[in-house]
């Protein structure tokens, strides 16, 4: 540990600034997620969009795996999936690995609605980095990878 009080104070100030910026990122990301969810279908809770967004990114899965992956309880996932099915966004099929199992996936309508909803969010982020050169962008990506625990050199 560093015994220099000025360096310790500087480090503490930097850590506070980092916390402020991470909080700002999380807050703005959450606001964009809510806005994107409403654009997807304003009659649904934002948590339903979280489900379709996960299915869009990772593909078909079981309800239990979806609940675990999205950190939602199974009853909430079940209720939301039923709503998504009724609206034609999600479908149930027999699992190719186990015919007794059920696999959830997006319908073509669901995929298209996710794509359309995500455009606004993408534009917001792309605008923020539009003036960065490639070195700045690579550095930012690298720092996020390290911060997020993806430090694979």
Q: In angstroms, how far is the first alpha carbon of the chain from the final one?
A: 27
User: Which helix (H) or strand (E) element contains residue 35?
Assistant: helix 5-40
Question: pLDDT at residue 80 above 60?
Answer: yes
> If you average pLDDT over every residue of the chain, what do you get?
91
Which of the four pLDDT bands, split at 50, 70 and 90, describes residue 122?
confident
How confident is the model at residue 153, as a pLDDT? 60
How confident is the model at residue 13, as a pLDDT? 95
Question: pLDDT at residue 152 above 80?
Answer: no
Q: Do the Cβ atoms of 40 and 112 come closer than 8 Å?
A: no
Q: Do the Cβ atoms of 90 and 108 come closer than 8 Å?
A: no
**Could you tell me the two tokens for 66?**
């979806």
Question: pLDDT at residue 151 above 80?
Answer: no
For range 109-113, the mean pLDDT: 97
Sign of the alpha-carbon dihedral angle for 135, 24, 122, 74: positive
Instruction: Round to whole Å and give the CA distance between 26 and 77.
Output: 23
pTM of the model: 0.74
Q: Domains of the chain by range and CATH?
A: 5-147 (1.10.10.10)
How confident is the model at residue 2, as a pLDDT? 64
Instruction: Round to whole Å and give the CA distance between 142 and 144.
Output: 5
Question: pLDDT at residue 5 above 90?
Answer: no
């Amino acid at each position: 540990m560093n015994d220099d009080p000025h360096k310790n104070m500087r480090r503490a100030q930097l850590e506070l600034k980092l916390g402020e910026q991470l909080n700002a990122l999380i807050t703005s990301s959450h606001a964009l997620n809510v806005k994107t969810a409403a654009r997807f279908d304003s009659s649904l809770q934002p948590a339903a969009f979280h489900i379709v967004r996960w299915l869009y990114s990772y593909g078909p899965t079981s309800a239990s795996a979806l609940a675990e992956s999205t950190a939602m309880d199974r009853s909430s996932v079940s209720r939301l999936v039923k709503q998504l099915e009724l609206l034609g966004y999600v479908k149930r099929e027999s699992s190719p690995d186990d015919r007794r199992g059920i696999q959830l996936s997006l319908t073509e309508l669901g995929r298209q609605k996710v794509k359309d909803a995500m455009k606004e969010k993408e534009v917001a982020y792309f605008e923020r980095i539009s003036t960065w050169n490639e070195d700045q962008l690579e550095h930012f990506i690298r720092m996020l990878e390290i911060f997020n625990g993806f430090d694979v050199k």
